């Protein structure tokens, strides 16, 4: 599936300049001893393996052009979210490793991580309504009710700003909404 997606993008656009790795699965909620291992593994597979496979397919094209930006979406590690949290922690370590590998290879492909905070999505709405979500991560419902969440557009705006200021000395940087990018403007 990933290879077909990359091939379709290359056929349509001719190159892939930016990869926004936004895979996110956090449907398995509960303590380690409570959750279904297959549901737990499904979250890990989407968040870690799916993101790895996407980078694996896109990187050869970016590297052959000696140009590109990869943005990897970070996530939290709440109690009751061991699959999501551990896979996102692994994904952030993968991002750090990728920065080092690309630098060692002499590549100009840049990698950044987005730290959005809690974002209003179908997934967070589910977490707020689900019994396990209410038990293990009640703060999601509380923050949604209080309007203390980000809208996806805020992440998009911060990402556009990050891409606009991207340069090698910022490689590996974490960014998020509300960040002042003016100090990075040239």
pLDDT at 2: 92
Of 50, 68, 72, 84, which one is the catalytic site residue?
A: 84
User: Who has greater pLDDT, 142 or 4?
Assistant: 4
Please give the share of the chain, as a percent, with pLDDT higher than 70: 100
In the predicted model, is pLDDT for residue 186 greater than 80?
no
Q: Which fold has domain 2-117+153-179?
A: Rossmann fold (3.40.50)
Q: What is the mean pLDDT of the chain?
A: 93
Please give the share of the chain, as a percent, with pLDDT higher than 90: 70
> Collapsing DSSP states into helix, strand and coil, what is residue 21?
strand
Question: Is the C-alpha dihedral spanning 71, 77, 82, 84 positive or negative?
Answer: negative
Phi, psi of 20 (to 5 degrees): -105, 100
Per-domain boundaries in the chain: 2-117+153-179
pLDDT at 124: 87
In Å, how far are 19, 56, 119, 151, 161 from 154, measured between CA atoms? 18, 28, 9, 6, 11
> Collapsing DSSP states into helix, strand and coil, what is residue 41?
helix
The 10s digit of each residue's pLDDT in 113-165 is 999 888 888 888 888 898 988 889 888 888 888 989 889 999 999 999 999 99
In the predicted model, is pLDDT for residue 17 greater than 90?
yes
Q: What is the maximum span of the chain, computed from C-alpha positions, in angstroms?
A: 52
pLDDT at 75: 87
Separation of alpha carbons 35 and 83, rounded Å: 10
Record the pTM: 0.91
84 is catalytic: yes
The 10s digit of each residue's pLDDT in 164-174 is 999 999 999 99
62, 16 Cβ separation under 8 angstroms:
yes
């Amino acid at each position: 599936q990933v290879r077909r997606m990359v091939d379709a993008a290359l056929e349509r656009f001719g190159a892939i300049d930016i990869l926004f790795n936004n895979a996110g699965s956090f449907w398995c909620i509960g303590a380690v001893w409570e959750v279904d291992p297959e549901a737990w593994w499904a979250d890990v597979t989407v968040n870690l393996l799916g993101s790895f496979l996407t980078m694996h397919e896109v990187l050869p094209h970016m590297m052959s052009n000696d140009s590109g930006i990869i943005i990897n979406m970070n996530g939290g590690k709440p109690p009751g979210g061991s699959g999501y949290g551990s896979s996102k922690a692994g994904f952030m370590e993968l991002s750090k490793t990728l920065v080092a590998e690309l630098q060692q290879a002499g590549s100009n492909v840049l990698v950044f991580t987005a730290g959005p905070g809690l974002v209003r999505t179908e997934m967070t709405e589910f977490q707020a309504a689900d019994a396990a979500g209410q038990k293990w991560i009640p703060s999601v419902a509380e923050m949604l009710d209080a309007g203390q969440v980000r809208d996806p557009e805020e992440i998009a705006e911060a990402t556009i700003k990050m891409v606009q200021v991207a340069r090698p000395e910022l490689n590996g940087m974490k960014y998020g909404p509300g960040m002042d990018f003016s100090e990075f403007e040239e």
